[in-house]
Structure 1
Amino acid sequence: MNTKMFDYIVLSFVIIGAINWGLIGFFRFDAIAAIFGGMSWISRVIYAIIGIGGIYTLTLFGRIDNDNINRER
């Protein structure tokens, strides 16, 4: 699997996490907990994956800037 595909997968998880946080903030509804149960081990794994994905997306800032510089050449 190439890096670009991995970036899209991780970005999808981060978007799902952001939508879930929006639901929690606006409606006090936790979609992950509603689907997989309160703080079951499955929901904890999903939260952990989304958290790690969020940290990984920090690397996109440097790569996006480098991609733009390389395209201008």
Structure 2
Amino acid sequence: MRAMNIITLILLVIGGLNWLLVGLFQFDLVAAIFGGETSVVSRIIYILVGLSALWQLMPLFKSFSEDEALAQRH
């Protein structure tokens, strides 16, 4: 599980940085590296980033159920 969390967090950072570039400069780095938004590799990366976001929802909801978020506020 720990390895999967690290991998998904890395993918989310990559996705976040890519969206930052899209927002600031209208430049999609993933598409530029892998041959356009519709290339198979780009689509796989977009899918992996999206699945990573879904995966990271589990620890988020778990932290709420364990009152970890409440404990961090105090």
Under a length normalisation based on structure 1, what TM-score does the superposition of the two structures give? 0.80
Query: What is the Cα deviation at residue 52 of structure 1?
Result: 0.7
Percent identity between matched residues is 38
**Alignment correspondent of 2:52:** 53
The residue number in structure 1 matching 2:22 is: 24
Look up the match of 1:71.
Answer: none
Moved over 2 A (4+): 62-68
User: Following the alignment from structure 1 to structure 2, what is the Cα–Cα distance between the partners of residues 53 and 8?
Assistant: 10
Letter in 1 for 2:14: I
Show structure 2 runs of 5+ residues with no match: 69-74
**Are residue 5 (structure 1) and residue 3 (structure 2) matched?**
yes
| Counterpart residue type for residue 48 of structure 2 | I
Deviation, structure 1 residue 5? 1.5
Task: Give the residue type in structure 2 aligned to 1:16.
Answer: I
Paired residue total: 66
**CA RMSD of superposed structures (Å):** 1.5
Partner Cα separation in structure 1 for residue 13 and residue 46 of structure 2: 12
What is the deviation of 1:67? 8.9
Unaligned runs of 5+ in 1: 69-73
CA positional deviation for 1:55? 1.1
| TM-score with structure 2 setting the length | 0.79
In 2, the alpha carbon distance for the partners of 1:54 and 1:62 equals 13
